[in-house]
Amino acid sequence: MQEPRRSAAPPESPQGAGVPRSWSARARILSDNSPMATEKTVRSLALALPETQEKPCYGTPGFYVRRKLFARLLPDPKVLAVRIDLSEREALLEVAPEVFFLTPHYEGWPMVLIRLPKIERADLEERLVEAWRMMAPKALLARHESLGQ
């Protein structure tokens, strides 16, 4: 089996964290190596998280940890909805409106919409991990401390 191509160091987050983040090994292997995020990228990153399942959510792919939804693709496969803290959502909407947005339906929910062609893979992975952490039970989080806070 051929080893997947490795890209240059992942870019910094739009929040300017200063340190590039790297993909998990499993997500890198499952990746489609596309320069932009796709439905396949979302699926590989989400399903690499512990105890994550993919099930339909209103007719589109949804990603759950222990039956709790943390992300779902919308009917437009270039848009992903992810769980997020409302205060963090406002900051993302201000800093990167070309990537993150809302529709009136999602304004009252702790979710943000992501334009997949506009987000860097490392940032997408960060969003999915954070959404997973918000919904995962404490015991599961304790067993997977390596997923950082």
The sign of the CA dihedral 7, 12, 18, 19 is: negative
Q: Where are the alpha helices (H) located in 3-149, listed in sequence order?
A: 25-30, 39-47, 86-95, 121-135, 138-143
Residue 11 has pLDDT above 70, yes or no: no
- Separation in Å, CA 80 to CA 69, 137, 139: 13, 23, 27
Domain annotation for the chain: domains and CATH numbers: 25-143 (3.90.1150.30)
> SS3 for 142?
helix
Give the start-end residues of each E strand in 34-101: 52-57, 60-65, 68-73, 79-83, 100-101
Using one digit for the tens of pLDDT, what is the confidence trace for 29-82? 444 455 679 999 999 999 999 999 999 999 999 999 999 999 999 999 999 999
- Choose the most confident range, by mean pLDDT, from 17-21, 62-66, 144-148: 62-66
Using one digit for the tens of pLDDT, what is the confidence trace for 73-128? 999 999 999 999 999 999 999 999 999 999 999 999 999 999 999 999 999 999 99
| The pLDDT of residue 146 | 76
CA 115 to chain centre: 11
